[in-house]
Amino acid sequence: MMSDSIDRQRVPEPLESLSSTDLYIDGEWVPASGATTLETIDPATEKPIASVAAAQADDVDTAVAAARRAFSDWRDVDPAERGRIVHRIGRLIRDHCDELAALESLDQGKPLSQARSDIIGAAEYFEYYAGAADKLEGRSIPVGPDGVDYTVREPYGVSAQIIPWNFPANIFARGVAPALVAGNATVVKPAEQTPLSALRLAELCTEAGVPDGVVNVVPGYGEPAGQALAEHEDVDQVTFTGSVPTGQRIMETAAETVTPVTLELGGKNPAIVFPDADLEAAAESIATGIFTNAGQICSAADRVVVHESVRDELVDELVDHAASLSIGPGRNDPDVGPVVSADHLEKVTSYIEAGTDGGASVETGGEALDRDGYFVEPTIFTDVDPEMQIAREEIFGPVLSVLTFGDEADAIELANDSEYGLTAGVFTADISRAHRLVRELEAGNVYVNQWFGDMNRTPFGGYKHSGIGREKGIEALDSYLQTKNVAIDLE
Ligand code: NAP
Ligand code: MG
């Protein structure tokens, strides 16, 4: 049964799959306190898709209480059984891939095939972590004949997941899968711009056999819903992905209750191109790195740092790529969809203006499209000074800044001259040089002769202001487990 709040006249197919747009707490759909709602907008048309319950602080309280109650049984489920349940979530996501992708594309704006790959990636998180459920072993530590000492890895309890709008379903899975496998219960707050896929995923978790209360979803605004979650006394761990200022705020808030946080806060990621690189291949990787998801990716290749001798050739290749990309509504599966919201379009275009005003040259693009929807052309800037805003700040749109270097030391200095340190790429045919740079680059993820080299099984996270802790891979489980050391006197 679809919620009455959905306007049936405008309902595209994807919404048929969604039972409700209320809050999902303790396995039930419930309206927000005071029946407060928010409108989620189709960024390709600027039209409302649905009104969705907007959680208030007391709804967050109810969700956290449900998670707390559910936790005590969930942690006691045989780990192998927990693994089977989590694996079933992955299978159900695969079974419902087209429907979830359509929902994600509608709500977020991304091209359908990119949404599909996000959804398959989401399924893979559940499948990957499911296999770890019965392998979360402790250690035994030799203390001599008179004692026994061993460690146990225990779940924290209630894990809060505060999700951004760029990969709503995929980042839900990235956090919820390891949290569940480790035996935690979760309360998820999706971004106000993109609440829909999380609601559907919560329902699939229940269908897979996750007990009521173990996965709760409370759409709402950062204030009050996100804030209430971050400061809740009964939340034991917070995972956040988003901007640096909000991440700092969450860390301050969590300090009050001494709650551990995992933060993934974006980047300004350099792609360093040496003259000996295969320039055509480098340009292709970089174009994928900056224009996928309309550039709204924390690990996007948003800064090219290229040797001056090959700058023109590389820029020509990049411009050819950018100019060949199709732009349109996600449902038509173009190369580039709209950006997520009117506010975000405004932010991206104001960076483009700042670049032009500052004296950088637009090689291609540079304009928002004169049509409904939040479309902006793939844009490439050259003559970018390292001090310009477009060289330093995360634009989070399809906007690439090209800087040049003279020698290797220069390249490293330019690449590291950033408050961020999430990803970096090196394009070169010289394996020794590649390894030298891998060592020097201040980034949690370094790609060599490719971009987006990470997979579900590889650890991902930032140096410097790009974050704390690691997501993905086995390492992510460390965020969801605390160590208990047991010391026994045998005398
Ligand atoms: P944001 O404020 O960091 O939002 C991320 C999440 O945090 C959303 O769910 C947001 O809720 C929530 N939130 C906001 N204030 C909060 C608070 N005081 N306590 C707890 N949670 C809170 O990011 P944004 O404003 O959507 O985007 C701004 C910029 O952040 C982007 O332009 C981009 O540069 C960067 N960003 C980075 C990533 C990444 O992957 N690292 C992802 C998205 C954005 P609401 O959305 O409901 O307000
Ligand atoms: Mg939306």
Say yes or no: CB of residue 102 within 6 Å of ligand 1. no
Residue 391 backbone dihedrals phi, psi, to 5 degrees: -95, -15
What is the residue with the minimal CA distance to atom 18 of ligand 1? 227
- Could you tell me the distance, in angstroms and rounded to a whole number, from the CA of residue 241 to the centre of ligand 2? 18
End-to-end Cα separation, the chain, in angstroms: 65
Half-sphere exposure of 183 (CA within 13 A, CB side): 21
Closest-lying ligand to the alpha carbon of 219?
A: 1
Nearest to 169, CA basis, from 208, 230, 115? 115
pLDDT at 277: 98
297 CA: nearest ligand 1 atom? 40
pTM: 0.96
pLDDT at residue 10, rounded to an integer: 37
CA distance 374 to 339: 5
Strand order in the sheet with 467-468: 28-30, 23-25, 215-217, 185-189, 158-162, 237-241, 261-264, 467-468
- Ranges in the chain, pLDDT < 50: 1-12
Contact 374, 347 (CB under 8 A): no
Question: Which residues are designated catalytic?
Answer: 264, 298
CA 362 from centroid of its chain's CA atoms: 29
Residue 178 · residue 206 · CB < 8 Å: no
Spatial CA neighbour of 174 closest among 184, 165, 161: 161
Phi-psi region of 289 (alpha: psi -120 to 50; beta: other; left: phi over 0): alpha
- DSSP of 337-396: ---S-HHHHHHHHHHHHHHHHTT-EEEE---B-SSSS--B--EEEES--TTSHHHHS---
* Ligand 1 pocket residue status of 164, Cβ below 6 Å: yes
What are the tens digits of pLDDT across the range 25-78? 999 999 999 999 999 999 999 999 999 999 999 999 999 999 999 999 999 999
- 312 CA from centroid of ligand 2 (Å): 39
Quote the pLDDT of residue 13: 76
Distances (CA, A) of 137 to 74, 82, 132: 18, 15, 10
Compute the distance from residue 49 Cα to the ligand 2 centre, in Å.
7
Check residue 367 and give its pLDDT: 98
Cα distances (Å, whole numbers) of residue 22 to 37, 49, 369? 9, 14, 34
Contact 298 CB / ligand 1 (< 6 Å): yes
If you take atom 19 of ligand 1, which residue's CA is the nearest one?
A: 227
The rounded distance, in Å, linking the Cα atoms of 79 and 182 is: 8
Q: What is the pLDDT of residue 15?
A: 86
Please tell me the residue having the least CA distance from ligand 1 atom 38: 242
| Percentage of residues in the chain having pLDDT higher than 70 | 98
- Identify the pLDDT of residue 119: 98
CA distances to 268, 275, 391 from 271, rounded to whole Å, are 10, 13, 12
> What is the rounded CA–CA span in Å between residue 226 and residue 240?
10
Radius of gyration for the chain, computed over Cα atoms and rounded to the nearest angstrom:
23
Among 246, 251, 302, 348, name the best residue to mutate to test ligand 1's pocket (greatest count of ligand atoms within 8 A of Cβ): 246
